[in-house]
Amino acid sequence: MSTDFAYGWYDQDASVAVEHPAETQLFPNRTSQQSTPELEKILAIQPDSFLGWSYRGYVLNQLSAYEAAIASYEQAFQYCTDDYKSWYNYSSALMHLGRCAEAIAGYSKVIALQPGYYRAWYYRGKALYRTGNYMEALVSFERTLELRPQSLKALKHRGYALAKLGCYQEAVTSFDQVLTLLPHNADLWQQRGAALQHLGHFLEALNSFDQALLICPQNSHLWYKRGLVLGCLDQYEEALTSFDRALELQPKDYCAWYNRGIALKKLKAPEAALESFDQALMLQDKNAKVWVIQGLALWQLERTEEALLSLEKALEIQPDDPKAWYSQGCVFFDLQRYEDAANSYIRTLTIEPYHCDGWVALALSAQNMQQYEAAIASYDKALTIQPDNAQVFYQLAYCHLCQGQVEWAKEHLRRAIGLEPDYRSKAQADADLVKLLER
């Protein structure tokens, strides 16, 4: 199964509720707009009226005048600080403005005044989620469900928080509970699919995305996600179809262009893949990952100088990208520029010292420069990472033979053949190594 396809996670629920205060009875037959002038008259006569300032905040909240609503509530709190509904509505206004840290403090005040108020726990959880504090958000959603077990919103957001914490199986359980009651919610099917994808359950994830697309067939992101999971299943033709559909609906989705290119590369269509990578770079030319994959596609087409230019561009953007350095080394090696290749592999290993392929490639570069001691040292490093790597034992046999260390060469060849018997026939075809088999 392919791991080249990338995916993300989204929270699409952005609603915030307000609580109706008792003082709405002041103007029972008026709209919020109609109530405002009379409120101003009352406050002109009674500027220290908590109820007046609090209700003014509520009215302004209803009118989406959140800054003014906050100012009204802050004025009200000068005269009374223990009205939990005012603190709740004040916090809701803060949430609407994205002032989540202040909203968390406000909802915490509500909970201190009214510990069993489930709405405060729920919106506190949402505010915490938005600030990236997923563990505390989960605690708030769990408390909401203790107080109100039937809250589907809390159950859904519990799933979101669990997914952010990497608890994907538990997240799927939450989504499943909500979907039994809301089977036509496309977002839930999508989130369930994303969690299953993280778990490596690609067929189940595909089923979830297909369910979501039955509900929202014009959702480009769903088609994109479907393409990703098909790529993970090595079903590249179908993945390509899904990416094409995503791009019909959203032509400027650079991620879809990028992954479409990967699918084409997997289908051995590097020219077409390059066209997709070019489209991705037209939309997002600061993404090192796209420059790297473009370089690899150019290398596949034996356009090595262009490949090196793409890889250099990737390294300008992200100088600490081990894949870019490793890929550059591979192109240099292909050009028989072994010293340049070795330098690139050394940069790879400086960033990622447990990169086994990097040590093997560095060793092969040294071997081709007849630097056998250096090659042996690098192969030994590779074996500390992958002790059963038959290729490494085979190459070590050759290096030891070149050093005149015949017994060591025989032992390493024996180990290579023991791990992969095909290396016997390979040694038989080698004019030098075949002698070890005859001894």
Kindly report, residue by residue over 2-40, the tens digit of the pLDDT: 545 543 333 344 456 666 554 444 444 444 454 566 666
Question: What's the mean pLDDT in 45-53?
Answer: 81
Instruction: Specify whether the CB–CB gap between 259 and 227 falls below 8 A.
Output: yes
CA–CA gap between residue 209 and residue 168 (Å, rounded) = 16
Instruction: Specify whether the CB–CB gap between 135 and 164 falls below 8 A.
Output: no
42: amino acid identity, one letter:
I
* Domains of the chain listed by start with CATH number: 1-165 (1.25.40.10), 320-387 (1.25.40.10), 392-439 (no CATH)
Q: How many CB atoms lie within 10 A of CB 25?
A: 9
Q: Is the pLDDT of residue 343 over 70?
A: yes
First to last CA, the chain: 43
Question: What's the mean pLDDT in 385-395?
Answer: 97
Question: What's the mean pLDDT in 288-293?
Answer: 95
Could you tell me which of 243, 281, 285 has the C-alpha nearest to residue 262?
A: 243
- How confident is the prediction for the chain on average, in pLDDT? 91
318: its two tokens = 């992200």
> Phi/psi at 321 (nearest 5 deg)?
-90, 110
CA–CA gap between residue 439 and residue 436 (Å, rounded) = 5
433: its two tokens = 């190594």
Return all residues near 11 (Cβ < 8 A) that are at least 6 apart.
129, 130, 157, 160
Q: How many CB atoms lie within 10 A of CB 293?
A: 26
Which pLDDT score, from 0 to 100, does residue 417 have? 96
- Number of DSSP helices (H) and strands (E) in the chain, helices first: 25, 0
Which pLDDT score, from 0 to 100, does residue 438 have? 72
- 100 HSE (CA, 13 A, CB side): 14
Could you tell me which of 393, 340, 336 has the C-alpha nearest to residue 368?
A: 336
Return all residues near 165 (Cβ < 8 A) that are at least 6 apart.
134, 135, 138
Which pLDDT score, from 0 to 100, does residue 435 have? 85
Eight-state DSSP code of residue 81: S
- What's the chain's length in residues? 439
